[in-house]
Amino acid sequence: MGDFKKELEQLINRYCKENDSNTPDFILAEYLQDCLNSFNQATQMRETWYGRNACPTISDNKEV
């Protein structure tokens, strides 16, 4: 996920999103990446709780 994190850092920097909190973009990018990882883990735990397949699936959502 190194490329994703680097691109996220650049996006944060491009839109100056680090300015409000005075936090370096690489720290914000790591925080957001951790949030996504935690969300993915929580949704897999939810699926297990409900007795459904907790494996991530790839959706084929093609625009019409």
Residue 64 confidence class, pLDDT cut points 50, 70, 90:
very low
| Tens digit of each residue's pLDDT (9 = 90 or more) over 28-47 | 999 999 999 999 999 999 99
CA distance 54 to 3: 26
Token duo for residue 46: 């939810």
Which pLDDT does position 63 carry in this prediction?
A: 47
Q: What is the mean pLDDT of the chain?
A: 89
H/E/C letters for each residue in 1-64? CHHHHHHHHHHHHHCCCCCCCCCCHHHHHHHHHHHHHHHHHHHHHHHHHCCCCCCCCCCCCCCC
